[in-house]
A = this chain, B = another copy of it.
């Protein structure tokens, strides 16, 4: 009995190629704008809720504060965001979009529309109930794997 054909290995492989395709496609779409995937994620997050700390943004992106720190340093150097000390809290740095950052976020939305459409095509043959079941299955897999 070959391990590569077992049910759990097929699920792992399926997860890998699907998420890999999604990531590669978005990176390719955003590259012409000079944006990386985590940078675009930060732009979107600050667009929805301005004035967040490094630690806040790290939690949203599922990465460590140290990793997000490097991303924010690059984005500030590129003029996409500003970080201003919190008046009421000594060490906190609140990040917000610059005019340039907001404009790039809008262009990013336009560029990733095609990917959104591809995702819709992927779930198009499913009924709303089946689509929700697929989502719940992925959530459940993540929970089981985390132990």
Contact = CB atoms under 8 A, between A and B. Distances in A.
B21 A141 contact: yes
Please classify the interface of chain A as helix (H, G, I), strand (E, B), loop, or mixed, using the class held by over half of its residues: helix
Report the copy number of this chain in the oligomer: 2
A134 B131 contact: no
A79 interface: no
Contact of A22 (B17, B121, B131, B145): B145
Interface stretch (A3-11, A49-57, A92-100): A3-11
A99 B56 CA distance: 46
A37 B13 CA distance: 14
Given A25-B147, A122-B145, 6 more contacts: A11-B138, A12-B22, A15-B138, A18-B139, A20-B62, A121-B144
